[in-house]
Amino acid sequence: MSSRPADRIYITGFMGSGKSTVGPLLAASLGHQFIDLDAAIEANEGKTVPEIFREKGELDFRSLERRELRHLSTRSRIVVATGGGALTDPGSLAIVRGSGVLVYLEVPVDILFARLRGWRGRPMIAAEDGTPLTDDLLRERIRSLLFSREPFYRLADIIVDAGSLSPGDTAGAILASLDALRRG
Q: Which residue range forms the structural domain that includes residue 81?
A: 8-183
Q: What is the pLDDT of residues 89-112, one digit of tens each?
A: 999 999 999 999 999 999 999 999
Q: Is pLDDT of 146 > 70?
A: yes
**pLDDT grade, residue 116 (50/70/90)?**
very high
Note whether residue 3 is domain-resident: no
Tally of domains in the chain: 1
Note whether residue 117 is domain-resident: yes
Q: Is pLDDT of 145 > 70?
A: yes
Note whether residue 1 is domain-resident: no
Average pLDDT over residues 72-85: 95
SS3 at position 92: helix
**CATH number, domain with residue 112:** 3.40.50.300
Q: What is the pLDDT of residues 152-167, one digit of tens each?
A: 999 999 999 999 999 9
Q: Is pLDDT of 137 > 90?
A: yes
CA 109 to chain centre: 16
SS3 at position 124: helix
Give residue 129's pLDDT. 82
Note whether residue 148 is domain-resident: yes
Note whether residue 37 is domain-resident: yes
Q: What is the pLDDT of residues 5-15, one digit of tens each?
A: 579 999 999 99
How far is 165 from 87, CA to CA, in rounded Å? 24
Please spell the DSSP secondary structure of 3-20, one letter per residue: TS-TTEEEEE-STTSSHH
Q: How far from each other are the two terminal CA atoms of the chain, in whole angstroms?
A: 9
Note whether residue 2 is domain-resident: no
